[in-house]
Amino acid sequence: MSEAPHVVIITGLSGAGRSSALRVLEDAGFFCVDNLPPGLAPELLGLVSREGKLWRIGLGIDVRTGAFLSGAEAMVSDLEASGHRVQVIFLDCADEVLVRRFSETRRPHALARTGDLHGAIAQERERLAGLRARADMVIDTSDFSVHDLRHHLIDYIGRDPDRPSMVVRLVSFGFKYGIPVHADLVFDLRFLPNPHFVEALRPKTGMDPEVSAYVMEAPETQELLRHLRPLLDYALPQYAREGKAYLTVALGCTGGRHRSVAMAEELGRQLGEGHEVVVAHRDAQRAPS
């Protein structure tokens, strides 16, 4: 068989979702090996493709390989030179989120031998800087659920490598809970009429027709759309031309339940005519306060 193996390398910070990402690859039919010393990768790929007839292979590489990690970048170049289709996916995450995740799971960090978790994360970032720079895609999982990570990975690894299209991710959020850290563009909608102050609309969300109509029919909203659509129509092709696989547009209101949700849904409908669009609502299900 002349087909060259498709190799997806999952790397990144401890606690950013690497194990979950490898499970996604396994579910997608990849033969996965975690914590592999990079120098052994060519031998492994030759074995599994020749003997096992496996052509979709996932490799997990992180700081647990110790001194072997220094050969990771050269390994990627060697695999590409030998004709393999290689994709490097780096999982990043905000430091404070990583600290919280380790505290919740009580798992030790591979580099935190003295208990200094912040120092271990900084050291890990330094050791992985070369791989991050070499990555075909960097995913910040700070605000991601396992479902979000699965969606991004499945969509990305299934893409035709020659396909130039970009996925536009519209995310509604509440400023009171913080701006999504992975946002490329952020729009503040807090000047629009607020359904929160209408008693009948308060318990609903922007996905309900009554709330959507209240927000979208307001003169302020219509005026905003007259400016926002031309801006996005201009900007999105520019980002795609730069080779961006995903562009996250964050739309925020106070609580992330009404105005931002309605606007994200409407923009999703409008932009869906010419772009690949995913709409997500980060805070819509939080209890109103």
In 3D space, the residue among 44, 150, 3 whose CA is nearest the CA of residue 91 turns out to be 150
Instruction: State the Cα–Cα distance between residues 243 and 199, nearest whole angstrom.
Output: 46
Asked whether residue 208 falls in the same domain as residue 242, the answer is yes
The CATH number of residue 88's host domain is: 3.40.50.300
The last residue of one of the domains, among 109, 126, 157, is 157
Asked whether residue 151 falls in the same domain as residue 181, the answer is no
Asked whether residue 38 falls in the same domain as residue 171, the answer is no
Residue 117: alpha-carbon gap to chain centroid: 24
Helices and strands in the chain: count of H runs, count of E runs:
10, 9
Does 15 map to a domain?
A: yes
Instruction: State the Cα–Cα distance between residues 209 and 221, nearest whole angstrom.
Output: 16
In 3D space, the residue among 271, 257, 107, 238 whose CA is nearest the CA of residue 174 turns out to be 257
CA angle at 157 for the pair 151 and 161, rounded to the nearest 5°: 135
8 A C-beta contact, residue 277 and residue 268: yes
8 A C-beta contact, residue 189 and residue 172: no
Asked whether residue 27 falls in the same domain as residue 146, the answer is yes
Does 13 map to a domain?
A: yes
**Which residues have C-beta within 8 Å of that of residue 206, sequence separation ≥ 6?**
172, 195, 212, 215, 257, 258, 259, 260, 261, 262, 263, 264, 265, 281, 284
**Number of domains within the chain:** 2
**Between 95-105 and 117-127, two packed helices, what is the crossing angle to 10 degrees?**
120
One pLDDT digit (tens) per residue for the chain, 289 residues: 446 778 999 999 988 999 899 998 888 888 898 988 888 888 888 787 776 677 888 999 888 877 667 778 888 888 888 888 898 999 999 888 888 888 776 677 777 766 678 888 998 999 898 888 888 888 888 888 888 888 888 877 766 554 446 789 999 999 999 998 778 999 999 999 999 999 999 999 999 999 999 999 999 999 999 999 999 999 998 887 766 777 899 999 999 999 999 999 999 999 988 888 989 999 998 877 6
Does 95 map to a domain?
A: yes
Asked whether residue 10 falls in the same domain as residue 92, the answer is yes
- DSSP E strands, the chain: 6-12, 31-34, 56-60, 85-92, 137-140, 167-174, 185-188, 246-253, 276-281
Does 1 map to a domain?
A: no
Q: Which long-range contacts (CB under 8 A, 24 or more apart) does 39-48 make?
A: 39/68, 39/71, 39/75, 41/75, 41/79, 42/75, 42/78, 42/79, 42/82, 45/5, 45/7, 45/79, 45/84, 48/5
The last residue of one of the domains, among 157, 191, 209, is 157
8 A C-beta contact, residue 12 and residue 18: yes
The neighbouring-strand residues paired with 58 are 8, 32
Does 182 map to a domain?
A: yes
8 A C-beta contact, residue 60 and residue 7: no
**Which residues have C-beta within 8 Å of that of residue 135, sequence separation ≥ 6?**
11, 88, 89, 90
Asked whether residue 131 falls in the same domain as residue 208, the answer is no
Instruction: State the Cα–Cα distance between residues 209 and 196, nearest whole angstrom.
Output: 15
Asked whether residue 129 falls in the same domain as residue 176, the answer is no
The whole-number pLDDT of residue 164 equals 44
Asked whether residue 173 falls in the same domain as residue 119, the answer is no
Asked whether residue 100 falls in the same domain as residue 202, the answer is no
Asked whether residue 258 falls in the same domain as residue 237, the answer is yes
pTM of the predicted model over 0.85: no
Asked whether residue 57 falls in the same domain as residue 19, the answer is yes
The last residue of one of the domains, among 157, 186, 209, is 157
Does 225 map to a domain?
A: yes
Instruction: State the Cα–Cα distance between residues 245 and 233, nearest whole angstrom.
Output: 17
Residue numbers of the domain that contains 23: 6-157
Asked whether residue 95 falls in the same domain as residue 134, the answer is yes
Does 287 map to a domain?
A: no
Does 289 map to a domain?
A: no
The whole-number pLDDT of residue 160 equals 52
Instruction: State the Cα–Cα distance between residues 262 and 211, nearest whole angstrom.
Output: 7
